[in-house]
Amino acid sequence: MIRKLLVANRGEIAVRIIRTCKEMGITSVAVHSVGDKEALHVNLADEAICIGPDNPLQSYLNMNNIIQAACSSGCDAIHPGFGFLSENPKFAKLVEECGLIFVGPNHELISMLGDKNEARLQMINIGVPVIPGTKNVIENAEEGLLEAEKIGYPVIIKASSGGGGKGMRIVWDSSDFIENFNTAKSEAKVSFNDDRVYIEKYIELPKHIEVQILGDMFGNVIHLYERDCSMQRKNQKILEEAPCHVLDKKIREKLITDAVKICKHLKYYSAGTIEFLVDKSGNYYFMEMNTRIQVEHPITEMITGVDIVRQQIRVASGLKLNIKQKDIKIKGYSIECRITAEDTKNNFAPSPGKIEFLNLPCGNGVRIETAVYNGYTIPPFYDSMIMKVIAYAPTRLACIKKMRVALEELFVDGISTNIEFQYLLLHSPNFINGRYDTGYVAKYIKELSENAEYI
């Protein structure tokens, strides 16, 4: 069993992992940048080590500094969280070569599934439906233009590595292709240090449904049902719910069956997420697989009672899954709102700064995951998400009402946030009936911009 674990991340996911370590009796080591020396994860961990300046490239993306911190502190494992190096096969391989345990799948699986183009080819071989697109990465804009014409507009240019909506651009006609192609490559390079991209047909206004899976090193794979992650702005998830309220039972069964089939075929272990797009005709397509913990994992935990981080650590320690598929039942509904430090009335501009006063909601069925506190200064160097508010209730309508009350109690003074925007979303008819798609938020923002009271 893992004895001492280094958390190679920051923010709420670092706090989440450290708390699980405490519950499991595992010594935790936090790493931090210079600017994060007062961060909550630093104060909660048993030990803390500074790994570089505020710039992520010199700290949270600095593989050598992280490995050195783990070795010098006597750790036997590293948990990468999400983002940063969590899906970097070079980092996972380096961890393995240094005799440390990587809490996640091995570097070969990360490499194969992290390369979105290679993952598509694997799905074709397995017999899972994929979105029409290029078979290989596209080297230059001229080649991309030719391929886009063959596929037919609209198309989406996607980074071959990484995820989280980074390095993705939708192109509606050839006149915008070159600019978007270059932008996608540049963003992919900055985000993942890999500028390779490929092109797919853009499926207009689909549902974004993902299936949470868990696997161990003994060939056991289970699913924890699905999440609806269709509420997005610029390919970034804003609000998620589990299970999907409007998903046809037959389609749900197909998605779950394919997700488990994929993982068993690939001998996948650890936590993972298979992401699908479901169009208005009920056709579904494999989009990508994330080989890490997801931001939205709490809603799955709430409806199944499974601690996904704990299971990750157990599997990495070489233990079998201690839960079976027959034990997994959907109990109720859960919704997660991502709270960001953004000025929603100024095109969602980042709003770093000092939190002058903070009041967090609580009570039955309300869960908060955050690393901020009264007096904490949000740095401008990292992602704008500052907390996740999770609500749980026996029915979806009761869950929506519970989340509304939670947001009414949530108060963050000193910075701008998207709390009001989330609150309004929870009252929108399309959300209440569950019939929203990935394009809904853009329409909703336009509606709000025409409302003088909101502006």
Taking Cα atoms as reference points, which of 268, 253, 265 lies closest to residue 125? 265
Residue 292 annotated as catalytic: yes
- Where do runs of H (alpha helix) occur along 175-296? 177-192, 249-266
CA gap 203, 438 in Å, rounded: 10
* The pair of three-digit structure tokens given for residue 319, joined into one six-digit string: 């233990």
E strands along 203-312, which residues? Answer: 207-215, 221-233, 236-242, 270-278, 284-290
Measured CA to CA, the distance from residue 301 to residue 90 in angstroms comes to 30
Give me the residues paired with residue 275 across strands: 210, 288
The active-site residue, picked from 292, 314, 338, 367, is 292
3-state secondary structure of 183: helix
CA 15, CA 73: separation in Å to the nearest integer?
Answer: 19
> Contact, 51 vs 31, CB < 8 A?
yes
Q: For residue 437, give every residue at least 6 positions away whose Cβ sits within 8 Å of its Cβ, in sequence order, or none.
A: 205, 206, 207, 230, 280
CB 78 within 8 A of CB 9: no
Tokens of 236: 């970034």
Residues counted in the chain: 455
Burial class of residue 107 (count of CB atoms within 10 Å of its CB; 0-12, 13-18, 19+): buried
Q: Is the peptide bond preceding residue 361 cis, with omega within 30 degrees of 0?
A: no
Q: Which of 233, 228, 267, 270 is nearest to 251 (CA)?
A: 228
Q: Looking at the annotation, which residues are catalytic?
A: 292
